[in-house]
Chain A
Amino acid sequence: MPALIKPGDLIIHILNVGHGDAIIVGLPARNEDERTYGLVDCYKGTKVMKYMNKLYENKTKKRLEFICATHPHGDHISGIEMFIRNSDYCPREFWDSGFRHASGTYRDILIALLEKQVKMIRVSSGMEWYFGKLRITALSPSVVLRNQYVTYGVDMNNASIVLRLEHHDENVLLLRSRQYDKEHPDTPEEERAAGNSVVILAGDAEFDAWAQISSEYPKLETSAVFQGPLVKKMLSLLNCHIIKVAHHGSKHSAPLDMYEKMSPSLAVISCKKTPGTLTVGTKSVPRDRFPHLSAINALEECKAEILTTDGSYESQTWPDRTLKGPNSDHPGTIMIVVSPGGKPRWVKLCDDRDSVPPTIPTTV
């Protein structure tokens, strides 16, 4: 049964933009008129701008709280300059991976940031932002990788910013401060419960990035009585309910053991089906580059429900000839609603990669 979206809910719109990423994050607010937004990557700026205007229909537009360019590949940043130069949406902060690309698109973003005097922040693993009860943590790029950008160089996908969004039912900072209050000894239990309302946006992170994330965010338990990590492993910051799959579901998107650590209920792949062929010995084998069979297999192995923005996965059939996604076998934007501390719920809208859906639902 769909429930009304409340102002205090976190809303994540993973837009159908074809082969690229554009994610609008609706930050929790006291009432709908006060709601502000952040943007994680922006491909097809014209569509994203129209979608944003639709979100603000009959409301006063507000500056974006942030734009996060996970990494400077064209399919993640080509629409960003448009937002920086827009008088309504010019962001308060620009989050950058620190990888300096030679493309004209990236150069133009830097010029726009300078001209509009937008704060640029070089993100690295461990950085946190708080928006009321929402905590956003950067899981990547690790400083180890970031320091390689000017020496050995890593490839751009591994420079990706990976964000963890945790929407707790209490103010996270208050909760952390209560850890030192002897009258409330249950803080780790409450932190564990927060795992239900975690969404990970993985940019285009590949193996090197995931390896660093895995080592920097081990399973740990923290205790109010004994300060510091215990050997008993119970709290995992990587555990999440939803993941926006890295690199459009390519064969490099994430290894199976990472998905097992995250154990998502829903995996969203922003993609446009791209067939290719692989030469094995003397044979030419047809194979989709995006989403790749190996990524799909790993996610199915973890029992995650899979949604693609182009509908290519959902329109496939199981061996018993039933559709893999019976109600979502069409292209469309995926809208996720996370109530504070609650399990996320989602809906797939109906829009192609250039147009916006006729209406954006108020119940999910």
Chain B
Amino acid sequence: MERSVTQEDILHNWRERKIKVFRITVDEKLSDDYIRLMICSLIESIKDFADKETKRIVITDRRRNWDKEEEVYITSENYKDILGMLGLKKKHVEQIPWDNLNEGQVYLLGSFRIEEIKKRTNLKQAKIDKENRKRKVKRFILDARKVSFTQIDEQVNDAIRRLYFSTLRERRKHASTD
């Protein structure tokens, strides 16, 4: 009989990885003390998405950059230990008290550093925001010497919304030819 892959197997596999970067989504709050996370790891062959000019590896939310998502169940009692296995430091724990974990939050955890770059905005945006013609944008650069933990919902949600409406638009295009 086929054996189920257990949560322990998955966590063990991740702990053995040389470069650890995880995308963690709070998927469902099943009860006050029980949550399902969906976690995926940055793929091991990560060279192919290095920035061509700087040769630095920029972590993006593209599908090809991540392994398949796995579910991990946590309780209010064991979540610090489980996330600790993935590299979460004590100083990061303060960022995520149990009661603040909510469905739809997405976190990035692991060996990367955050760079804020000033990005030139388009004219329409500049009109809205005359004071700042340049906007600060966060970039996540792979860095084996660091362990960072940050919430990335804003970027992810914008991307999902764009993708969602592209898919709906595609449906309309085909509906007219069916």
Contact = CB atoms under 8 A, between A and B. Distances in A.
Interface of A: 73-75, 78, 100-108, 110-111, 113-114, 117-122, 155-156, 250, 274, 276, 289-290, 352-355
Interface residues of B, number: 40
Contacts of B164: 100, 110
B27 A103 contact: yes
B36 interface: yes
B128 interface: no
B4 A354 contact: yes
Nearest to A352: B1
A354 B175 CA distance: 37
A118 B167 CA distance: 9
Nearest to B32: A278
Interface in B145-174: 153, 156-157, 159-161, 163-164, 166-168, 170-171, 174
13 contacts: A74-B36, A74-B38, A100-B161, A101-B27, A102-B157, A107-B159, A107-B163, A120-B167, A120-B170, A155-B103, A156-B104, A250-B31, A274-B30
B28 interface: yes
Contact of A110 (B3, B36, B157, B167): B167
B63 A107 contact: yes
Contacts, number: 98
Contact of B175 (A110, A119, A289, A290): A119
A309 to B, nearest CB: 15
Contacts of A274: 30, 34
B103 A114 contact: no
Interface of B: 1-4, 23, 25, 27-28, 30-31, 33-34, 36, 38, 40, 61, 63, 66, 69, 71, 103-106, 153, 156-157, 159-161, 163-164, 166-168, 170-171, 174-175, 178
A101 B160 contact: yes
Contacts of A155: 103
B71 A103 contact: no
A106 to B, nearest CB: 7
Nearest to B173: A117
Contacts of B38: 74, 103-105
Report whether over half of chain A's contact residues are helix, strand or loop; otherwise say mixed. Answer: mixed
Contact of B31 (A103, A105, A118, A289): A289
A353 B63 CA distance: 28
A121 B170 CA distance: 11
B34 A289 contact: yes
Given A74-B71, A111-B163, A354-B1, A104 B25 contact: yes
A155 B34 CA distance: 16
A107 B160 contact: yes
Contacts of B104: 101-102, 156
A104 B63 contact: yes
Given A78-B71, A276-B31, A104 B170 contact: no
Nearest to A204: B28
A75 B171 contact: no
B1 A102 contact: no
Contacts of B1: 352, 354-355
Nearest to A251: B31
